Structure 1
Amino acid sequence: MSRRFDMADIKKKDLYLLLGVEESATAQSIRKAYRKKALKHHPDKNPNDEKAAELFHELSEALKILTDVGARAAYDHVRNARKAAEARTAKWDEGRKRAKLDLDERERAAENVGQKVELDLEAEIRRLREQGSRILQEETDAIRRQLKTEVKLQSSTKQPATLKVKWKLADAGNGLYSENALRGMFSKHGVVTGLVLGAKKKHGTAIVEFADSRQALFAHDSEIGFPQCPLHISWLGGVRPDSNLHARSATVSDNSRKTTVSKEEKNEESGGLDVDELEELVLAKIRKKKVRANDA
């Protein structure tokens, strides 16, 4: 739990520096700067960082004060008084020690004025906390919507994709590509959710399904297999996921569904599958999953 950004903190903090804006910044510029920093330090994006949660709270308080005319004026008075005191302290040197008593008297007078200014600021901050800040609420809602949009975009771009792999069985290729070897080889590129081996007389074949089409794209473009027996990698169905994966139809008729199921059962019963039967089997399973998802 982050500590509360109290009155003493506000008096000491440079809220303009905190938001990264000039003292003359407009309310619109302040809101823009707040949104940029608040998105970066939002607790939802930094769940294990207590400092990020504390900074997010400070940014919210700064937005409330600097976008309210009365609160900003009161804060500017306190800030200017503090800066003036710091400037006087910086100029105070050994030669002025002789006038210390006179300086102390003037400091006390300035302190009395400063106390009045600080009391005004405290009153404005209490008013803001009681009434709430419309601008802060608007920005909070906007950030929440943007975070939801980011989550949806991340989830929507994650689509499965399937590769068709082929190699020569002659010479070193015979027995070189076992299921474990292929799974280990393609798992380097991402999450492999399915792998099925098949064979023809001269070629070995496999179907490799990835959970994420982006991982499948990387495997397709970069994996070569063993140098003594390189792999030939293509897309199941002949379609790259980045060009037409999302455009595939997810609905089939009842008759085609029955045909798919019967063909799948027939292939599962057979002991050996060639590459064409293997591809048809995997495509049938994919269509079946999509039909079930639509019916659910």
Structure 2
Amino acid sequence: MKTIKSIFALLFLSMGMVSCSDSTDDPMPVSDNPLEAFNLTSSFEANGHVLELYSDQDGYFLGYNEVYVRIKDLATESYIPDATIAWNPIMHMTDKTHSCPRSEITATGDATVYKGYIVFQMASNTDEYWELNLEYRIGGTTYNVTDQIVVNAPVNGKKTVNVFTGTDNVRYILTMMPFAPEVAVNDFSAVLFKMETMMNFPPVADHTITIDPRMPSMGNHSSPNNEDLIFDPESGSYIGKLSLTMTGYWKINLKLLNDNGDVLKGEDITEENEESSLFFELEF
């Protein structure tokens, strides 16, 4: 699910494509920036290029991060269309290294703009840091650039990503996709991955994520008309409905079920058990 901001930005990208020259191979002048509504989160200079990374957030944060990429040719001061880009985030811990779930980087409606997402499962700290390697191909030549990035903990301290081992002994990463909550029945999405190795995190399809939102400060009451998260092959995410009946702090209790209906993680909410061990948090 895209935020409203992302949707308007993509509409703007498509409109901008009409106003460009007839040839999509022509570099775009620096003055025409289809991502001016976004924040420049990183700028990597190497190989006669600058790779610019943009987000609707002010930096990189724990959980789901949608990122847009542009490549500027320093010799011509123009942006390069139709490149191929891949990335690999690496966390350098004190005793080991690992990567994290991420999508492929794909084209958008503008030939000079590329996008993808990264799910960071831990934040940077004073002793451990993230590096982002970008491999890109232009005109038959492959280039590489690597630099450090800072991944921040959520400003509000709320939990948006879960890393856990299921009853099937598989290590999972489950993260909520960003959205603007309202007192309404909201579209609600998440992405789910498993850890095959420290560097490989394939997406998981055909599971189910049940949701039971509660307000702990208000007698742990729930809400009507929620819909569990079901896998959507087209988007690669789990999509459902989240009913929020008032503003405040909500704990979204979760259960993860496999395609046989077996519970892999999480518990039902009862009078004796007021919260699941698997949950997201939000406050608005």
TM-score range, shorter chain: under 0.3
Which structure shows the bigger proportion of residues in strand conformation? 2
Which structure shows the bigger proportion of residues in helix conformation? 1
Instruction: Tell me which structure has the larger Cα radius of gyration.
Output: 1
TM-score (norm 2): 0.24
TM-score (norm 1): 0.23
